[in-house]
């Protein structure tokens, strides 16, 4: 069960415990033991001055203490000793983040961390600095680090172990720099492809995101090194009305709890140490000023005990953007009273000064400050900063790339999704066979930046100067996988013109390759830079597809992009379609292995791919959303459905059954299905189990994902797959904002197979 079944009972129980009331018989109260970490933190907290405490709640960016201007640091970068002393010694700043605008070598990171912790040791408290960074698909700001798929690609693997391993490997590499805090994972939902951070999520479904999120948090925090995950962005961030970054969302409480809360709750239960707050507003209230969400829900109801940090400059934005505060001081008061522990300031020290003044004048109590500082110190204690004083391990112990390359390459392989594979002249277009030439072109075909996306080397991920040395683009990977002289290449930039399209056509007509591979999609972006008015595939790319199709040569479209671009009008002109997402430094070789048949594709879509630009309908839509102006067809008509993907060896489903036809509320449903591989290769098949609530007091979704697993099925083999789903997991948030499972009829679906069951209104 994802949420509390009866909120009233929970509050009543909390009241009884808080007031010391006796029920179900009285006995001597057992005082909980105080942990050694708690004793240490409380002892340290008692020695701190108010100045020490508000400093601990302040986070500055690295650029604020570097030589030069924060946005344009002097190269090569070094820390400015005067700025460092001013921030860390005078103002007692407790946390630093970011990378100074681009990636650095491990040696440079050690220089930064050593200098910062040396300065921190000079303040009266001697408390080490907690350093945080966005290492979202590997060590993204470390030169030549091992970069795997972005989260949307990990989602396409439908493999929690891939996420767990990615988290573990990131933790080990980033910890070796002397950095213990990662601003990852994103647990927002990919419900609207207009949203520019769509690709930073695991997908559109709450259960799937919860499962993958729990796994990556486990990887980060149980990696063998002290390392903290950050859940972001709490919550509802990706569901703005406009689809643009950090713009208003209107989400009723029932939907917030039904869809957007479960991934966070699952990761909190997995032990996540920190949470970053949604920069936007929900129902007119900026989340970082919303006590009902940050204290009443997150602390009191969900029991989160970790650290809450704002996103970039969000306290200041309460009065400069949201316009709910008159000035910075009032904004600071709002954020602290809502429940914020640390402000990502990140450029100045006004927040610190205002917070100090608010406490001294009695507007904010020092006990409220103690709550936040206790959480910060506890996190530092758990991360071992007081033992290591925050200094990095020796550079000689820096882990070798060979320890991580295999799993990054494997995750990229598992993510690549085959969406179309037509037959031409009696043979499937993919995999590419024979010895004839292959032409590779298109704007993403020769770009390592396109393969990695944002938060890679730089914030926007668009500077080739900070790419990983030696990693191939798609063209280069195909030259390695195929005979190099078979691969023709015509370079095209994103803004290519009709003249360049005709150059491609003339080359095809002259050399007659056996296949044309088009690298389509987007170049990197993130946050507001990726806002768009239109999710149509770019018109020049559509013209390229049309022109190449007209030559009569089979055309393979490889989409390298962070969100699904609409291309229904030219889809018939593509003989095969491959979705690569943002697969990272090892993604080009993964695509090439799918194209040449070395690897049997197993990726499946973690989102619904819309056919039209305004059709942002997810798989778990309502029955009323299927009503079309033409009553003979359904309005739910995506290009490709959630969970869809092909392989080179198809698997058919048969004989779906459940162990019973009727279940009590506390039963577990055992679901069995036969998988029959009708091809000649082993397939890594996704078995996804959906429930269909036939009648409910809240309009039910057509489908809800309840379980998924990967099953290997050998060539010509038939295997049985079994899944177990607790009846308690078939519920929803009802009209009283309570989680409930309502008795009645349900369908259980796997693939095209559906079986009916009945849930009775009783327990055993």
Catalytic residue list: 311
Three-state SS for 443?
coil
- Residue 746 — φ and ψ, nearest 5°? -135, 145
- Cα distances from 395 to residues 105, 110, 146, 398, in angstroms, run 11, 8, 17, 5
Pairwise CA distance, residues 27 & 336, whole Å: 39
- List strands edge to edge, sheet with 307-309: 230-234, 274-277, 307-309
Is 528:196 a contact under the CB 8 Å cutoff?
yes
Three-state SS for 732?
strand
Of 310, 308, 297, which is closest to residue 274 (Cα–Cα)? 308
Name 748's bridge partners: 691, 755
Pairwise CA distance, residues 127 & 602, whole Å: 49
In 255-333 the beta strands, taken as DSSP E runs, fall at 274-277, 281-282, 285-286, 307-309
Name 488's bridge partners: 439
Is 375:325 a contact under the CB 8 Å cutoff?
no
Pairwise CA distance, residues 480 & 474, whole Å: 10
Is 574:557 a contact under the CB 8 Å cutoff?
yes
Pairwise CA distance, residues 88 & 120, whole Å: 6
Token pair recorded at residue 348: 């100045």
Pairwise CA distance, residues 101 & 464, whole Å: 14
- Residue 720 — φ and ψ, nearest 5°? -100, 135
**653-661: long-range contacts (C-beta < 8 A, 24 or more apart)?**
653/750, 653/751, 653/752, 653/753, 654/753, 655/753, 656/748, 656/750, 656/753, 656/754, 656/755, 657/755, 658/748, 658/755, 658/757, 660/757, 661/756, 661/757, 661/758
- Cα distances from 326 to residues 135, 181, 329, in angstroms, run 35, 33, 8
3-state helix, strand, coil in the chain (%, to 5): 35, 20, 45
Pairwise CA distance, residues 557 & 577, whole Å: 5
Of 166, 177, 130, which is closest to residue 273 (Cα–Cα)? 130
Pairwise CA distance, residues 199 & 624, whole Å: 29
Of 144, 128, 219, 220, which is closest to residue 178 (Cα–Cα)? 128
Count Cβ atoms below 10 Å from residue 465 Cβ, excluding itself: 8
Is 365:372 a contact under the CB 8 Å cutoff?
no
Token pair recorded at residue 637: 């008509």
**673-706: string of b/e by CB count within 10 Å (b at 16+)?**
bebebeeebebbbbbbbbbbbeebeeebbbbbbb
Pairwise CA distance, residues 707 & 689, whole Å: 5
Is 612:569 a contact under the CB 8 Å cutoff?
no
């Amino acid at each position: 069960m994802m949420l509390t079944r009866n909120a009233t009972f929970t509050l009543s129980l909390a009241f009884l415990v808080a007031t010391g009331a006796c029920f179900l018989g009285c006995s001597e109260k057992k005082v909980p033991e105080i942990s050694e970490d708690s004793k240490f933190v409380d002892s340290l907290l008692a020695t701190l001055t108010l100045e020490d405490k508000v400093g601990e709640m302040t986070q500055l960016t690295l650029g604020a203490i570097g030589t030069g201007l924060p946005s344009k640091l002097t190269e090569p970068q070094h820390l400015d000793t005067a700025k460092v002393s001013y921030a860390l010694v005078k103002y007692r700043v407790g946390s630093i983040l970011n990378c100074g605008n681009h990636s650095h070598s491990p040696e440079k990171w050690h220089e930064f961390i050593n200098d910062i912790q040396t300065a921190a040791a000079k303040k009266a408290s001697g408390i080490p600095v907690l350093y945080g960074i966005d290492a979202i698909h590997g060590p993204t700001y470390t030169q030549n680090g091992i970069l795997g798929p972005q989260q949307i690609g990990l989602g396409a693997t439908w493999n929690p172990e891939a996420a767990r391993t990615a988290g573990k490997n990131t933790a080990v590499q980033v910890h070796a720099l002397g950095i213990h805090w990662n601003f990852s994972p994103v647990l927002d939902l990919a419900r609207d492809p207009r949203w520019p951070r769509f690709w930073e999520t695991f997908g559109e479904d709450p259960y799937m995101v919860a499962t993958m999120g729990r796994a990556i948090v486990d990887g980060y925090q149980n990696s063998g090194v002290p390392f903290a995950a950050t859940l972001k962005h709490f919550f509802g961030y990706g569901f703005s009305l406009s689809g643009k970054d950090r713009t208003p969302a209107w989400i009723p409480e029932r939907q917030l709890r039904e869809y957007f809360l479960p991934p966070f709750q699952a990761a909190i239960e997995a032990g996540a140490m920190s949470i970053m707050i949604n920069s936007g507003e929900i129902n007119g209230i900026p989340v970082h000023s919303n006590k009902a969400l940050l204290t009443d829900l997150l602390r009191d109801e969900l029991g989160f005990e970790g650290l809450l940090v704002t996103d970039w400059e969000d306290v200041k934005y309460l009065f400069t953007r949201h316009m709910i505060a008159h000035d910075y001081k009032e904004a600071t008061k709002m954020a602290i009273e809502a429940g914020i522990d640390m402000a990502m300031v990140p450029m100045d020290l006004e927040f610190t000064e205002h917070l100090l003044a608010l406490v001294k004048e009695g507007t904010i109590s020092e006990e409220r400050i103690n709550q936040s500082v206790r959480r910060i110190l506890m996190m530092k204690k758990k991360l071992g900063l007081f033992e290591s004083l925050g200094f990095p391990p020796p550079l000689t112990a820096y882990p070798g790339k060979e320890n991580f390359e295999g799993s990054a390459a494997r995750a990229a392989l598992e993510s690549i999704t085959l969406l179309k594979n037509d037959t031409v002249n009696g043979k499937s277009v993919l995999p590419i066979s024979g010895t004839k030439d292959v032409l590779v072109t298109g704007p993403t075909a020769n770009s390592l930046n396109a393969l990695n996306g944002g938060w890679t080397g730089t914030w926007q991920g668009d500077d080739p100067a900070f790419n990983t040395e030696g990693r191939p683009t798609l063209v280069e990977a195909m030259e390695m996988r195929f005979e190099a002289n078979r691969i023709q290449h015509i370079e095209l930039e994103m803004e290519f013109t009709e003249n360049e399209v005709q150059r491609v056509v003339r080359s095809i007509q002259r050399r007659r390759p056996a296949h044309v591979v088009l690298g389509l999609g987007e170049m990197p972006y993130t946050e507001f830079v990726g806002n768009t008015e239109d999710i149509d595939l770019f018109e020049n790319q559509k013209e390229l597809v049309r022109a190449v199709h007209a030559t009569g040569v089979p055309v393979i479209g490889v989409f390298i992009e962070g969100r699904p671009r609409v291309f229904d009008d030219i889809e018939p002109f593509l003989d095969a379609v491959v979705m690569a997402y943002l697969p990272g430094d090892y993604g080009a070789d993964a695509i090439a292995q799918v194209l040449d048949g070395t690897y049997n594709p197993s990726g499946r879509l973690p989102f619904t791919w819309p056919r039209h630009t305004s059709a942002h309908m997810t798989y778990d839509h309502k029955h009323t959303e299927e009503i079309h102006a033409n009553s003979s067809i359904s309005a739910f008509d995506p290009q490709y459905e959630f969970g869809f993907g092909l392989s080179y060896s198809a698997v058919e489903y048969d004989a779906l059954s459940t162990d019973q036809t009727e279940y009590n509320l506390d039963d577990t449903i055992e679901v069995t299905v036969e998988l029959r591989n009708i091809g000649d290769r082993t397939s890594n098949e996704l078995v996804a189990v959906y429930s269909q609530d036939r009648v409910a007091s809240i309009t039910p979704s057509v489908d809800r994902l309840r379980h998924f697993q990967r099953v290997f099925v050998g060539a010509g083999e038939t295997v049985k797959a079994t899944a177990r789903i607790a009846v308690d997991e078939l519920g929803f948030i009802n009209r009283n904002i309570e989680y409930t499972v309502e008795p009645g009829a349900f369908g259980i679906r796997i693939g095209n197979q559906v079986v009916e069951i009945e849930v009775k209104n009783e327990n055993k």
